[in-house]
């Protein structure tokens, strides 16, 4: 082995192998360097646009908030710029004149080994004189959000005016400055709440202006209108046999109703239905009141009802009652001239229950002939009968003739 290593051919072969190894290594490094050097990349990022202009005296419109930037260059620089965003896109209008103009978007802070393509590359902008005006604010409120029967009075706004700043041509378009309340439904009390101020043109489009202050305090008084009206009774059902409803009264006699004003105008009284079909005697009731349509509250909600009854008054006629006599002298004969048959009709009026079992035997219909002498006489017809009844005869007087019995036998 020692002889072999000391051989000239061994040394020559080893040197050749080392030379080949060194050549391969250098060639690979050059290729790697070339690859690295030629490894370019591309990326697209969204970038905000920085605007430089005279903020104190001008207003600029038409500049997009963001643009799309495509970066090209070495991959490592592209990736770094994409992730760090250590550059900016801007529009410089510092020395721009009033009016419309087209301007280019530029980049700043970008590596000189990178190229940037901005989309859009240029934009049409408007540079306008900045104007500030003071306008009154109108509060807006959706009345449909009110609880049933409630009404909103005129709202108040604090502060009453706001300062609006913007381009002159935009300021000239202002038609409405309003503060709309955002509230829940069924409002039944006063509202005080902050609301954003909206500046709109005649077509209710929102205008690009600044407002100071941006919110105002809106107060809307809410009320529940009321009206006091009498209670009127409406008897329902049929009276029981023999019973007459004498009177129906309420305590209290009036009720306060609550609702919208236009509804209250149409109501002059509140009708209370009272069922009389089951009432046979004087009765006290507690009856709930029924709200008319669109009336949201009654005060009181119930009333006391007093019902007074009386017996039903009817009339009954007894026909052909024979007239009797009292106080007739035994020596006289009685002859009826009118009515010729001595019969009368009796019309009796009274409670139906008392008349029900009544007949002519309950009445004594007679002539008082006491002290009368022979001759023709007009005598009052008298009646005795039950108390609490009234009656009327078909004839109040009878015409009679008295004669002595011995003369009548001649």
What pLDDT, in 10s, does the model give residues 170-218? 999 999 999 988 887 788 888 899 999 999 999 999 998 999 999 999 9
Average pLDDT, the chain: 88
Determine the pLDDT at residue 4. 53
Q: What is the pLDDT averaged over residues 3-31? A: 65
Count of alpha carbons within 13 angstroms of residue 401, beta-carbon side: 9
Looking at the structure, tell me whether residues 170 and 207 fall in a common domain: yes
Task: Supply the CATH number for residue 251's domain.
Answer: 2.170.120.40
Indicate the DSSP class of residue 144: G
Single residue among 169, 189, 223 that ends a domain in this structure: 223
Joined tokens for residue 197 = 């101020």
In a domain, 23, yes or no: no
User: Does any domain span residue 4?
Assistant: no
146: in domain: yes
Residue 30 has pLDDT above 70, yes or no: no
| Residues 46 and 58 placed together within one structural domain of the fold | yes
CA 117, CA 129: separation in Å to the nearest integer?
32
92 pLDDT higher than 90:
yes
The answer on 371 and 302 residing in a single domain is no
Question: What residues contact 379, with CB distance under 8 A and at least 6 apart?
Answer: 367, 368, 369, 372, 397, 398, 399, 400
**DSSP, res 352:** H
pLDDT band of residue 305 (cuts 50, 70, 90) is very high
- Per-residue pLDDT, 405: 85
Same domain, 287 and 318: no
pLDDT at residue 281, as a whole number: 87
Cα–Cα distance list, 373 to 326, 329, 332, 368 (Å): 14, 9, 8, 13
Residues shown for the chain:
410
- Is residue 15 in a domain? no
Last residue of a domain, one of 295, 311, 327: 311
pLDDT per residue as tens digits for the range 98-149: 899 999 999 999 999 999 999 999 999 989 999 999 999 999 888 888 888 8
Are residues 365 and 330 part of one domain? yes
Beta strands (DSSP E) in 201-312 are 210-212, 215-220, 222-223, 226-236, 243-251, 254-259, 270-275, 283-288, 295-299, 302-311
In a domain, 273, yes or no: yes
194 shares its domain with 261 = no
What is the maximum span of the chain, computed from C-alpha positions, in angstroms? 218
In a domain, 33, yes or no: no
How many domains does the chain contain in total?
4
What CATH number does residue 330 fall under? 2.170.120.30
Residues 45 and 123 in one domain: yes
| Between 126 and 33, residue with greater pLDDT | 126
Alpha carbons 368 and 372: distance in angstroms, whole number: 9
Instruction: Provide the β-strand partners of residue 382.
Output: 366
Say yes or no: 272 and 208 in one domain: no
- The parent domain of residue 200 ranges over 137-223
Residues 6+ apart with CB under 8 A from 400: 334, 335, 336, 337, 367, 369, 376, 377, 379
Q: Let me know if residue 172 belongs to a domain.
A: yes
Shared-domain flag, residues 388 and 305: no
Q: Hey, is 279 helix, strand or coil?
A: coil
- pLDDT above 90 as % of the chain: 59
Q: Is the pLDDT of residue 169 over 60?
A: yes
Asked whether 214 and 195 are in contact (CB, 8 A), the reply is no
- 311, 344, 362 - which closes a domain: 311
228-260: buried (b, 16+ CB within 10 Å) or exposed (e) per residue?
Answer: eeebebebeeeebebbebeebebeeeebebbbb
Q: Indicate if the pLDDT at residue 1 is higher than 90.
A: no
Residues 343 and 289 in one domain: no
Q: What is the pLDDT of residues 348-374, one digit of tens each?
A: 998 877 888 888 889 999 999 999 999
Q: What does the pLDDT read at residue 146?
A: 85
Same domain (yes/no): 296, 318: no
**Domain for residue 3, yes or no?**
no
């Amino acid at each position: 082995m020692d002889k072999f290593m000391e051989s000239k051919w061994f040394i020559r072969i080893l040197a050749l192998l080392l030379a080949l190894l060194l050549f391969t290594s250098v060639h690979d490094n050059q290729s790697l360097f070339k690859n690295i050097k030629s490894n370019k990349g591309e990326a697209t990022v969204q970038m905000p646009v920085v605007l430089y202009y005279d903020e104190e005296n001008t207003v600029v419109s038409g500049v997009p908030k963001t643009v799309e930037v495509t970066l090209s260059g070495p991959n490592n620089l592209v990736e770094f710029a994409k992730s760090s965003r250590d550059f900016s896109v801007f529009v410089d209008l510092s020395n721009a004149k009033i009016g419309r103009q087209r301007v280019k978007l530029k980049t700043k802070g970008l590596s000189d080994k990178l190229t940037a393509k901005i989309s859009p590359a240029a934009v049409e902008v408007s540079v306008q004189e900045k104007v500030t005006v003071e306008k009154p604010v109108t509060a807006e409120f959706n009345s449909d959000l009110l609880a049933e029967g409630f009404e909103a009075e005129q709202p108040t706004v604090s502060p009453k005016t706001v300062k609006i700043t913007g381009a002159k041509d935009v300021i000239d378009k202002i038609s409405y400055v309003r503060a709309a309340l955002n509230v829940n439904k069924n409002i039944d009390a006063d509202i005080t709440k902050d609301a954003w101020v909206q500046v709109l043109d005649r077509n209710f489009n929102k205008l690009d202006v600044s407002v100071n202050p941006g919110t105002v305090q809106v107060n809307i008084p809410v009320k529940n209108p009321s009206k006091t009206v009498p209670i009127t009774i409406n008897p329902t059902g049929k009276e029981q046999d023999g019973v007459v409803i004498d009177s129906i009264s309420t305590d209290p006699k009036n009720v306060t109703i609550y609702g919208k004003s236009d509804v209250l105008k149409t109501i002059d009284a509140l009708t209370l239905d009272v069922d009389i079909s089951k009432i046979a005697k004087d009765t006290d009731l507690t009856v709930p009141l029924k709200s008319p349509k669109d009336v949201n509250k009654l005060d009181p909600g119930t009333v006391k009802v007093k019902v007074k009854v009386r017996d039903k008054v009817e009339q009954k006629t007894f026909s052909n009652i024979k007239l009797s006599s009292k106080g007739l002298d035994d020596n006289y004969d009685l002859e009826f001239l009118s009515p010729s048959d001595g019969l009368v009709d009796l019309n009796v009026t009274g409670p139906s229950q008392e008349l029900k079992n009544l007949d002519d035997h309950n009445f004594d219909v007679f002539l008082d002939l006491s002290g009368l002498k022979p001759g023709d006489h007009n005598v009052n017809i008298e009646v005795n009968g039950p108390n609490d009844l009234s009656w009327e005869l078909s004839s109040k007087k009878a015409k009679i003739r008295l004669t002595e019995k011995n003369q009548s036998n001649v």
